[in-house]
Amino acid sequence: MHKLLTTWAAVLSFAVTTAAVAAQGTTLDDVAADGAPLPLGTSTSPINTASGTTLICNWRPANGTPTASTPPGSMRWGYIDLAAGYWQLILSPFFPAGTTFKLEGQYPSARNFSFQLYDGAGVGLASLTDYELQPDSGSQSPFDVVNDLDTAIQPGGHYTVYLVYGAAPAQPAPNTIYIDASKFSAGSQAVLIYRVYNSFGSGSIVNYGDEPLPAAYEVTTKGTVPLSALDNTLACNSGIGLRDGMRRVRASLVDQIFAKPLAPQAIAAKPVPAAPVFQLRDNPSDVLANSDTRYIYVTLSQTKGDLVLMRARAPTYATGPNAGSDPQLRHWSVCENALWTVETYACIEDSDAAIDGDGFFNIVISVPTKKPANATHAYSFDWLPFGTCLAGTPIFRHMLASPNFTQSAFQMPTGKASEAPQIMGDYFPQATYCASSVFAAHTGNKETPAQVFAACAAGQ
């Protein structure tokens, strides 16, 4: 009971502190992407089994990824993309060199999938993306290039991935991820994240894109042993459950504290607050970031304007309308998140976005009570809820760019993020705060989204 009360006190303290800091308008330039909870702490609060080397957790959903028994509309978190499912397989990084695990999978009916390995602090160490995987003999892969997929090849073909303990050789074996103990702190875990994006047809996040989760085994001299038989069920469930529970409670408390918008009254058109300025995320230590994605984000305040308008030229995407033979990206999206609780509220996916006559997407972000009547596809706008947290964070994702897309977010070398607006041009997003009255007047006059944006930025 004492431990439970202590946990709740810590959660409440977090929520109160969050509320106080957010109310002061403080921002946090520390957006971590695509996260997944770790069992029983991180490298700063390590888990140790009896021998310190035997932790095995078979596949479990991460970030609130729904299962068949999950209620519709359940909370998801971790600055994620709601078009994706996230599953984690957790192992001790300290098994003897040469220890081998293998995954036997089938290509899903989806736009993208990948395997990425992280250390206990969530720093990426290695990855295998769909187009890099060689299919098993007798199978074909529909994922043959970085930015596209071959829809003439049906999903369901087989592949095999190996997790091998030891330093990676100069020439790594195909379909192999190496787990090097020297890259892990004592007591931490090796976390393998399996992501599936944009399931097609009857596929969904719940059924992993029409194919089962990859079957996981340990390879021994006596044959293969299913990881389900080696799973440290108590340690894994309690650790993951604790982290999931903490995130749910934190987000729920903040939702309750800010259930009503802080500024429900209309905000004057002038003076227009300083425009929110997007930034390309360029931090090698980002927690559990997807190495196939570049993130462009901004921090918004609920109190500065009735609405936020965001716009950028829309990239073409794999299998999308008029994508052609060389789409610019495999996938793009814009998701609105709570800065302090990492809850993801809603996303606009590439295939669902309204594109105006100039080739731009245009998104209105507001609390529900201020959602404009004209923020609809008929006016070439989409709408995202700001959410209850006072500080919101929309994230614009570029995934797996064509080498020929010279204005993608992938064109910026490390340390050159500040050059993104110049290099990306119209593909780099702009934003402005806007008064509801201004938006209503100019959309009511049937003006283009570009004209509406300019009017909002001018406050007239």
What confidence score (pLDDT) does residue 25 get? 35
pLDDT at 188 over 90: no
Cα(152)–Cα(143) distance, integer angstroms: 11
Closest C-alpha among 315, 11, 36 to residue 193: 36
Binned at pLDDT 50, 70 and 90, residue 37 comes out as: very low
pLDDT at 1 over 80: no
Q: Copy the structure tokens of residue 226.
A: 């299913």
Q: Which residue has the higher pLDDT, 418 or 48?
A: 418
| Residue 427, helix vs strand vs coil | helix
Closest C-alpha among 313, 322, 328 to residue 396: 313
DSSP-assigned letters across all residues of 360-414: EEEEEEE-GGG--TT-SGGGT-EEEE--SSSEEEEEEEEEEE-TT-TTSGGGSPT
Q: Which residue has the higher pLDDT, 19 or 214?
A: 214
What confidence score (pLDDT) does residue 386 get? 94
pLDDT tens by residue, 202-223: 778 899 999 999 999 999 999 9
- Which amino acid, 25? G
pLDDT tens by residue, 294-324: 999 999 999 999 999 999 999 999 987 777 8
Binned at pLDDT 50, 70 and 90, residue 128 comes out as: very high
What confidence score (pLDDT) does residue 237 get? 86
Binned at pLDDT 50, 70 and 90, residue 133 comes out as: very high
pLDDT at 51 over 60: no
- Residue range 372-400: mean pLDDT, rounded: 96
- Which amino acid, 426? D
Q: Give me the residues paired with residue 307 across strands.
A: 434
**C-alpha torsion sign, points 28, 31, 32, 33:** positive
As a CATH number, domain 262-458 is: 2.60.120
Judged by average pLDDT, the poorest of 35-39, 104-108, 436-440 is: 35-39
| Residue 2, helix vs strand vs coil | helix
What DSSP state is assigned to residue 272?
P
383 Cβ partners below 8 Å, 6+ apart? 363, 364, 365, 366, 371, 372, 375, 376
Judged by average pLDDT, the poorest of 215-224, 279-288, 425-434, 447-456 is: 279-288
Laid out side by side, the sheet with 158-165 consists of 176-179, 158-165, 100-106, 215-220, 223-226
Cα(240)–Cα(445) distance, integer angstroms: 53
Binned at pLDDT 50, 70 and 90, residue 424 comes out as: very high
Cα(39)–Cα(33) distance, integer angstroms: 18
Classify burial at 3, counting beta carbons within 10 Å of its beta carbon; exposed 0-12, middle 13-18, buried 19 or more: exposed
Cα(127)–Cα(163) distance, integer angstroms: 11
**C-alpha torsion sign, points 227, 124, 162, 196:** positive
What confidence score (pLDDT) does residue 185 get? 84
Contact 104, 215 (CB under 8 A): yes
% residues pLDDT > 70 (the chain) = 88
Contact 77, 342 (CB under 8 A): yes
- Residue range 340-356: mean pLDDT, rounded: 94
pLDDT tens by residue, 53-87: 688 999 999 989 999 898 888 889 889 999 999 99
Q: Which of 24-33, 275-284, 447-456 has the highest mean pLDDT?
A: 447-456
Laid out side by side, the sheet with 56-61 consists of 56-61, 84-91, 190-199, 110-118, 124-129
pLDDT tens by residue, 137-178: 999 999 999 999 998 999 999 999 999 999 999 999 999 999
DSSP-assigned letters across all residues of 147-171: S---TTSPS--EEEEEEEESPPPSS
For the chain, the first-to-last Cα distance in angstroms comes to: 59
pLDDT at 346 over 90: yes
Contact 326, 73 (CB under 8 A): no
Contact 341, 253 (CB under 8 A): no
What confidence score (pLDDT) does residue 427 get? 98
Average pLDDT, the chain: 87
pLDDT at 21 over 50: no
pLDDT at 332 over 50: yes
Helix then strand then coil, in percent of the chain rounded to 5, is: 20, 30, 50
Contact 387, 365 (CB under 8 A): no
- Domain ranges, ordered by start, for the chain: 32-237, 262-458
Cα(259)–Cα(4) distance, integer angstroms: 26
DSSP-assigned letters across all residues of 22-43: HHTT--------S--PPTT--T
Judged by average pLDDT, the poorest of 86-90, 213-217, 385-389 is: 385-389
What confidence score (pLDDT) does residue 88 get? 93
